[in-house]
A and B are shown apart, each in its own frame.
Chain A
Amino acid sequence: MITPKRIYLAFLALVTLWCAGILLAPLLKSAGLSLSSFLYSFYSSVCHQVDGRSIHVAGHKLGVCARCASLYLGFLVALLIYPFLRSLRAQQVPGRHWFLVGVAPMIIDVLLNFTGLHASTIATRTASGFIFGSFLPFYLLPPLLEAVAQVIGRLSSRGDLTYARKAEQV
């Protein structure tokens, strides 16, 4: 039986796994394990992994840069507290203006750095990434829970139909 809670827990497990991989990459590298190369290679498709823009753990950079790492961490933290703030059955998402509020610090940080008015630092990248990441679950989780429930509902009803047809043939 599929419930929003189960879908939420499965999604939470996947996001935790994704974030764990980011942290595991430097830890495995410091332990001399080759799996770290795969993890760095895996995350290289989603991040530049520039050393100077990354947070270091155990003497090695994380799997992604500081901005991306804090964005994923913000996403995970917001996902964890989501059920305490909103019902998992609620389908409404916040207004678009709140999305702009969430993304604004990151855009301002990038633009200030690009124009040379203020150089972005690890602190500004981390803070702006975390803020944006913590806004995202409120837009993504309601349609995701609804979509997975719809897909599973359709697949199971198709399965029931196929079973019924086979039973008729027998």
Chain B
Amino acid sequence: MLEKPNKFRVALISGAAIGAVSGIPGLNLLNCCCCAGVWLGGVLAMYLYRQEFTEGMPPLESSDALLLGLMSGVVGAFVATFLSVAILVVFGPIEAEFLRSLFEKGLDRLAEEGTLPSDMVDQFRDQLESAVQDSARVSSILGNLFIELIVYPIFAILGALLGYAFFRPKTPPQATPVQ
């Protein structure tokens, strides 16, 4: 009997997709909705893995989805961090600057309307400035990587399990007996 297809290649492709969606400014807004980009990466991993199966191979199992999601999430976290750093080095903190300009417009409007007192507006401006500077710090990048290494595998596993629920074989394999 043939062995199951290698998961590593599929995990690299789907992890790269997760990393691209999460690391490229603008595209990463997709993750603002409950990590939708990472979920979709997990579904993609399961779809691609299912395509690799040929006749004579053992059937696709839910544990494959679990492992594939885990691997894709970890690869995705590293790729996202790498892309973020590369973009930071080449273009500077463009994403942080964009967010700052967006928030500053809002602050200006609130200040004009008199909704916020001027001392609070100044305080918010200082916080925004420090947030932009923090985004380029090594500790901030490593902190983000740490959080992504927890969050991305969780959501990629859920995405892969959802993909398994959608793309599972018509006749599911015999479940592992549990006592």
Where the two chains meet, the residues of A that have a C-beta atom closer than 8 Å to any C-beta of B are 1-4, 41-42, 45-48, 64, 67-68, 71-72, 91, 93, 96, 99, 136, 139-140, 142-144, 146-151, 153-154
**C-alpha gap A64/B166 in the complex (Å):** 28
- Residues 26 to 42 of chain B near chain A (Cβ within 8 Å): 29, 31-35
Are B175 and A91 within 8 A (Cβ)? yes
List the A side residues contacting B33 at CB < 8 Å.
Answer: 47, 67-68
Are A46 and B164 within 8 A (Cβ)? no
The one of B147, B158, B164, B179 that contacts A45, using a Cβ cutoff of 8 Å: B147
**C-alpha gap A71/B101 in the complex (Å):** 30
When A and B form their complex, which 9 residue pairs have the shortest distance between CB atoms, in order from nearest? Answer: A147-B62, A150-B63, A48-B32, A147-B66, A143-B62, A153-B176, A146-B62, A46-B35, A93-B165
List the B side residues contacting A1 at CB < 8 Å.
Answer: 179
Closest B residue, CB atoms, query A106: B33
List the B side residues contacting A4 at CB < 8 Å.
Answer: 178
Contact of B162 with A by CB under 8 A:
yes
Are B151 and A151 within 8 A (Cβ)? no
Expressed in whole angstroms, the minimum distance between the Cβ of A148 and any Cβ of chain B is 7
Could you list 23 examples of A-B contacts with CB < 8 Å? A2-B178, A2-B179, A3-B178, A3-B179, A42-B151, A45-B35, A46-B151, A48-B29, A48-B32, A67-B34, A139-B162, A140-B158, A142-B165, A143-B165, A146-B62, A146-B63, A147-B62, A147-B63, A148-B66, A150-B61, A151-B63, A153-B178, A154-B63
- Residues 119 to 168 of chain B near chain A (Cβ within 8 Å): 143-144, 147-148, 150-151, 155, 158, 161-162, 164-166, 168
Closest B residue, CB atoms, query A7: B178
List the A side residues contacting B34 at CB < 8 Å.
Answer: 46-47, 64, 67-68, 71-72
Are A143 and B168 within 8 A (Cβ)? yes
Are A42 and B147 within 8 A (Cβ)? yes
List the A side residues contacting B162 at CB < 8 Å.
Answer: 136, 139-140
List the B side residues contacting A142 at CB < 8 Å.
Answer: 165
Are A149 and B176 within 8 A (Cβ)? yes
List the A side residues contacting B166 at CB < 8 Å.
Answer: 96, 99
Are A91 and B63 within 8 A (Cβ)? no
List the B side residues contacting A47 at CB < 8 Å.
Answer: 32-34
Expressed in whole angstroms, the minimum distance between the Cβ of A134 and any Cβ of chain B is 14
List the A side residues contacting B165 at CB < 8 Å.
Answer: 93, 139-140, 142-143
Interface size on B, residues (CB 8 A): 32
Contact of B56 with A by CB under 8 A:
no
Are B161 and A140 within 8 A (Cβ)? yes
**C-alpha gap A69/B150 in the complex (Å):** 19
Are A143 and B147 within 8 A (Cβ)? no
Of B29, B147, B162, B176, chain A has the most CB atoms within 10 Å of the CB of B176
Are B35 and A150 within 8 A (Cβ)? no
List the A side residues contacting B177 at CB < 8 Å.
Answer: 153
Expressed in whole angstroms, the minimum distance between the Cβ of B30 and any Cβ of chain A is 11
List the A side residues contacting B155 at CB < 8 Å.
Answer: 46
List the B side residues contacting A3 at CB < 8 Å.
Answer: 178-179
Expressed in whole angstroms, the minimum distance between the Cβ of A112 and any Cβ of chain B is 16
